[in-house]
Structure formats: C-alpha cells, structure tokens
Amino acid sequence: MAAVAANPSATAEDPEPQREAVPGLESQWRQIENGESGRERPLRAGESWFLVEQHWYRQWEVYVQGGEQDSSTFPGCINNAKLFEDQINWCLKKGLVKGEDYVLLPSAAWHFLVGWYGLEQGQPPIECKVVELRGTQKVEVYPVELLLVQHSDMGTPHSAQFSQIDSIDLVLRTAREKFLVRPEKETRLWVKNSQGSFERLCNTRVTVLDAALKSGQLVVMEIRSKDGAWPSAQPQAGNNASKEDEDFQGQPGICGLTNLGNTCFMNSALQCLSNVPQLTEYFLKNRYLEELNFCNPLGMKGEIAEAYADLVKQAWSGNHRSIVPRVFKTKVGHFASQFLGYQQHDSQELLSFLLDGLHEDLNRIKKKEYVELCDAAGRPDHEVAQEAWQNHKRRNDSVIVDTFHGLFKSTLVCPDCGNVSVTFDPFCYLSVPLPVRHKRVMEVFFVSMDPRRKPEQHRLVVPQKGKISDLCVALAKHTGVSPERMMVADVFSHRFYKIYQLEESLSGILDRDDIFIYEVSGRSAICENSREDVVLPIYLRERTPARDYNNSYYGLMLFGHPLLVSVPRDRLSWDSLYHILLYRLSRYVTRPSLDDEDDGNEKANMAAKDSIPKPGHLAACSSQNLGPEQAGPSSGVPGGRRAPVNNSPGPSHWPPRARRKHLFTLQTVNSNGTSDRSNFNEDTHAQPYIAIDWEPEMKKRYYNEVEAEGYVKHDCVGYVLKKAPVRLRECIELFTNMETLEKENPWFCPSCKQPQLATKKLDLWKLPETLIIHLKRFSYSRFSREKLDTLVEFPLRDLDFSEFVKAQNESASEVYKYDLIAVSNHYGGLRDGHYTAFACNKDSGQWHYFDDSTVLPVNENEIESKAAYVLFYQRQDVARRAQPQPDSSDPLAPPACGQPPNSEFMDVN
C-alpha cells in the first residue's frame, strides 16, 4: 500500500492545528494547479506525492473558481475517508482509479492545502513515492506486499511492503530484522511461484520489479546450518546419518568427498583447490557474495561459484567426516556436458573448467570492453608486458586472476625474413612436458619353425620412433634367427588383425596389442613372384552344431593361435599342405594310429593332379568345386573392432580338394577367417587364407588344448628397463625451450604476408600467488596413447623460479620461491585409473591423504611418487602474509605447512 502515516504538522491530530495565512482564491489556484509546486509539473523519481479524494478536490476547484471566500461551496477540511477500507488500520481500498477516486498532488501543493484547510482529524496522509520503471516516471500508489516466513516455520508469515524499485537485498535485510537473525548467520531467500514450487532469489542487487515479485507472494528466508549446509539441500534419506554426526567436531578442512561413481577425478581436484588458503578464506568470509556476477554471458549466472562456496563451507565447518558433492556434480554437468554421467575424466580438465567458471562467475568487470592486442613493435619488454597485463585486467578481474593468473612472454621468429614478434599472454596454469624416452619396451611372442619349441615370450628394448625392422633386429639378438626370416603380425581374436611390413613404424603398435613374430624360411615371402617359398596364413576352426538348416556359415568358430607357414612352391597341393601342417602342429596334435586311420580312397583323392597352382596363375576349375565343407562367420568374434587388414596378395582360386582328411579338412577363407571365398566377393588376385577345420570329436581326441596354449618366458622377460627419475626443473626447461611450429599450426608473418613455420619460445614473465603445474603424463599420437609413469622429483619447499623469470625483481627474492601445498595423483593407466590428493591444511600445517571419503595423515616423504599429476605451489611471500602471527607464549600455535605434529602415519604408496 501507499505509505500511510501520521504527520503531526499536517494532520488533524492536534486539537488546534496551526493554519497558515490563507492567500486569495486566485493565488491558491495558481499555486496548486500551476507553477513549480503545482500538480501539473513533471514527476521526478524519488520525490513524494499525496493522494486527495476526488470529490473533495472538485469541491475545492468550484470554491476557488467561484471567486467568493464566504461562499457556500467552501470544501472544509481535507477528507480522504472514501479512500480507506476502514478507519482502524487505514488501508487503502483496492482498485482505486486516478481521476475517478483521487487526484495526485506534489508534496508542496499538499502541504499548502493542509496548511490552508487542514486534514480531517485522525486521518493520516496518503504518501506515495515516484519511481522510474523502465525509463518512465510513475507514482507508486500500491507497493508490493510480501509475506515473509522462515524455512523452519512456514506457517507464520509476516507482511511487509516494498516499492518496486527496492532491492532484493532490502527484502533480505527486512526479513533478518523481523526474524532477529544474528549478524554472523548467513541467509538466502526463496520465492514461491504460481506453480507452487520455490525459486532462489540469487541476485540480491536486482529490484523487486526485476525479480517479478507480486503482492501476496510468499518469500522464504533460509539460514545456513552450523555445519555449512543449507537445510533445503539436506536429503531426507540422510537424516539418520546426519544425526549420528551431529555432535562431530573435527579439524576444519579434513573432510572427505563421497565417490558418486567414477567421480574420484572431481574429488581430487576439489580437495587440492580447497586447500589453497587465500581462495578458501575468500569464500569462508563471504567476500564472494559482493562479487557474484549474474549477468556475465560467459559465466554460469553465479551458480558454479555458489555451489563451490557451499562445498567449501561444509568441508571447512569441522562438522563432517565426509560430504556428498552431488549438488556440485549436478551443476558441473549442467554447464559442461562433457562431465555429465559417471564416466571417468581427467582431474586437470575439470580443474581448468572450474577455474574458468569461478573466474567468470566472480568477474568484477560487469561489461567487458573491446581491447585490441598490440605487438611489441620494438618497445621495451617491461612496457609491453605492463600494457598486456592492464589490458587483461580491463576485461578479467576476479579472485581467480588475483590468485592463479600469470604472464607469458611469447617470441616468434620468421625463418625467412627474420621478423621477430613479441607478445605477452596470461596463463592460469603451466602444462609442462616430461622428457620423452628414447627407448620403448615391447613384449612379443616368437613362434619358431621348429614344431617342438613352444612359443617364447620376449621383452625387447627398441627405439621409441623405430620401425618393425628394429623389432626384428632386437629379437634376433635373443633367438639367433636372422631378421630376414621373421614376419610380424598383430593377433586379435584368433585371427590376424594386421601383418606388418618391415618399413612400417612401431608407433602403430599399442602396448596392449598381442604381437607374434613368426620364423619363416629364408626363401619365403608373402608376396608373389619373389622367392621360392610362399607364406600362408593359417587359422584354426572348430565345427559346432548348426544353428539353422539353410546351409549357413554359423557352424564354425575360430580358436587357438593362427600361424604363418612357409610352403615350397613346388609342394602347393592339398596333400602336401596337409602333411606340412600336421608336422607344424605335431607338438600338440597326435597322429592317428593305423587302426584309427580311415584311408578310404585317400590315394585317389590325394593324387598329384590335385596340386595347388603356383601363385599368380588362376585355376582352370571353378571355386565352387572346393568341397562340401563350408566355413562361416565365427559366432564368438566381437564386432567392436575394425576388420583386419589384408596384407597378403597372391592367388585366389584353388583347385578342388579331397572331401575327407585324416584329422581335419582344409578350407580357403577370407582374411577374417569367417567365410568361404567361394561366396566372398574380394580381390581375385589376393592370397587366400587357409582354415584348418576340426570336427568336435576329432579335436577332442587328437588336439591337446593345454599344450597348444603353452609358452615359455625368455630370460629377458625378467629384465626391467630402469627409468631414471626426472627433476621438475627439467620439465620447466623443456617448457621454455625453443620449438618450431608444426605444419598444421603455422604463424602468419606480418612482414612476409604468408604462413610460416616460425620458431617459438615461451618465457615466464609474471608468476601468480599460487602456481599450478600440470605434468603432461598422458601422451597422444595418431597411432598410440600412453601414460608416462616417470618419477618426477619435485621439492616441497623453496622451488626457485628466479632463473626462469625474465622480469627480475632483485629487491624481492621471495616472489620467485614457492612451497608445495597440494598434489593431485593419478594411479593406473589410460583406460582405467584412480585419482587421489595430498594437501597441506592451512590451519594445522599437517599433510593429509585424500582418497574420496577417506582422509589420513601422512608424512612428507610419502608425497613424492610416480602418481603425481598436478602440483599446487604457493608463493612464500603470500604464505607469510596470510599466516597469522602467533603469540610467543601460545604453545598451541599451528606449525607451518610441511612441519606436521607428531602423530601416527600411514604408508599410502
């Protein structure tokens, strides 16, 4: 409602109100209707106007226009009784219309009339404020009346009136006053919408109009609990657990995070960031509330910052052993879809997103101006660097910039014209490479031509960027077999995934691949017209009960390890091939006795006329006459991997073969080993693959599966390639080394006016308060991915950057020295792994190991490990400024970080 209050100088409450000298009627009309104080003048935002009942005002107009002061038309005292609902609470009636029920007078005109005629005894003046709504001045007759309640007592509302231009912060302060909330308590507001649900009033700087609040709406004030959580965020199902921990009081910051399902990467990053002292203090002391940026189009409307603040307040309340970061996880997934669901991710990637999101949500720059990047153009470095930093701060100014941002110096040199370009760019963390190993360890299986020898497992050391020929040379040193008599193949799912050529790169072979190296005759080759012997790829298949009756290929399944067998060209017949294969399988295939052997018409069937044509010549007969046995797709082969590569050119048509063999039958198949070539449309000049098909009874009787799968380990398998540890400074030196740009990412030289493969060098110019160093352990290339488990030795104290920083400040050596405060660890490989964290508590100085919901104290000598992935360092001068000065007489003063008190420790490595 309009402000209705008693004014002793303008009401009729005094028994004998003082009246001003009444001017003439013409002068009254002029002062009330016209002039600076008249009601015809324009509205001004913030001033007060008053309501006068329409009938009284019309009577006054008739009186003054009549020209006779003693006329019977005298209006008497101002009487607004018709504008009120009652004469007890003096509430305005609803739906009053200007010009029909009342007129509006400015403050001066109202006071003139009250001074001349008085106000009906007991009636309060009806004062209204002029507000500016979207550029228009308007008298606000009816303010917004809100019902204020507490979250803990929703049934007791308190009515309060607010102007549409009042801020939500005023609503919050009014609610705190009404409910007597102590100043140290943190509160927030919710509003009940027309659908009956509740919405947060996040931005307290907007007006009641901008928040679309209407009269009669319910506004709920919520008070944060002592454990840092909001009552509305507490799950109902967790009430029992919360009651058990209700009286728990521990060290602030020593709080685990529950793993929601592959969220260890998130927990590790959060624990590290939570132990950055200046950032945590910023949130604990609620300084972030004044800097929330709700209108930044690059931000998350303050939601990421608020979600992180809630997490920090709970973790540092000292009232939790562990907390469930479900709300934070939901917010992250909402604004970054790559983190939706429960797949494993990278802690450094989440950290990068979180720092960027916090920066934009807390950016003090509400409207970013356009800033043109300028090159050095021969100016001094310090001048260009200062200009670049100031330009960066003109668009980016937040606690994240204050804490984590530094400045690079980037130097590009054109190889043609020698043009030098110097720019200065901000950074949030350093991603430093690890020294690349020049050697690689590969495990292979060597299959000898001697059937009596089992396959041998070898561990070979080869050049990191070597070729297949290097692998064969390394194996030759162990076996004594010439590299020229070796063929390398990748075996997957009982078939050849790929047969490699000697000049191919080793980068195409992953560590998880099963690599077999076969000994072949010195005269062999898998290509035609080259040597006297030809190499045939051999598969093993077992016939299973047919699944249907339409002569389909579902009755054969691959098993065992395939072979590469050298066959003399003059023995390319089914009969010869059968005996050659029987000899090669003799270690685990038993020859049948004379009683078991059913020759039938073997001699006729194995006549010399059934010879296999030489490679390069086509058989005169049709491939449809290859025999009744038919091969089909294996039912046990997964379909997730791409089809094997066929690198075996040669003849594709074979003459008819015998219908019966002693132990097995032979069948030409495709490179998959899953279909008869007679029904497979492929290159007719391609070398066929041969399948050995076994009947189940024959296989059970003559095939020894245990012996077939057996292998021996060469002595070299026990050897371990010793990896020398790497110092952190070596990684930083690599980061600052000069490099040449790749072809995919050239630099456009402004002098040559064309893209150039320039040399680039990065130098450190300005270092942040907290330096994040990301060790690039994960290596990706076109053909391979690997994790580098090299031990990186990093100091816990006194990491000195003075030799790397180009902008030297000799008077302050502390600005280049850092102490470690947190480490994000990754255990495992690329496909699977687990993240944990080490962090030093800012209050106690004690190091702790964070493994999801488990938190344990640790010794300093346990922090350095091969799992270290992201390092957090704090500048020493910042640490000393932030550290409170302890009383010399206080024996309980907390030690500095890295000086843990005496306690029991647990080995976590």
- Active site (catalytic) residues: 264, 834
| Closest among 745, 749, 744 to 416, alpha carbons compared | 749
Question: How far is the CA of 233 from the CAs of 228, 325, 422, in angstroms?
Answer: 11, 11, 51
Beta bridge partners, 524, equal: 533
Q: Long-range pairs for 216-219 at CB < 8 Å and ≥24 separation?
A: 216/145, 216/146, 216/147, 217/146, 217/147, 217/191, 217/192, 218/146, 218/147, 218/149, 218/157, 218/191, 218/192, 219/146, 219/147, 219/148, 219/149, 219/171, 219/175, 219/189, 219/190, 219/191, 219/192
What token pair was written down for 898? 């890295």
**CA–CA distance, 315 with 320 (Å, rounded to integer):** 7
DSSP secondary structure string, 614-658?
PTT---SS-GGGS-S------TT--SSSPPPP---BS--------
- Per the CB < 8 A criterion, the answer to whether 605 and 659 are in contact is yes
Listed in sequence order, the residues at least 6 apart from 766 whose beta carbon sits closer than 8 Å to its beta carbon are 385, 389, 406, 407, 805, 807
What is the phi/psi pair of residue 34, to 5°? -115, -165
| Closest among 845, 798, 847 to 825, alpha carbons compared | 847
Instruction: List alpha helices for 737-807, DSSP H.
Output: none
| Closest among 651, 652, 674 to 553, alpha carbons compared | 674
DSSP secondary structure string, 346-375?
-HHHHHHHHHHHHHHHT-S-SSPPP-----
What token pair was written down for 295? 């209108």
Listed in sequence order, the residues at least 6 apart from 725 whose beta carbon sits closer than 8 Å to its beta carbon are 790, 791, 792, 793
What token pair was written down for 352? 């990068």
Length of the chain: 909
What token pair was written down for 737? 């080394």
For 194: left if phi > 0, alpha if psi spans -120 to 50, otherwise beta; the answer is alpha
**CA–CA distance, 286 with 279 (Å, rounded to integer):** 11
| Closest among 817, 823, 815 to 840, alpha carbons compared | 823
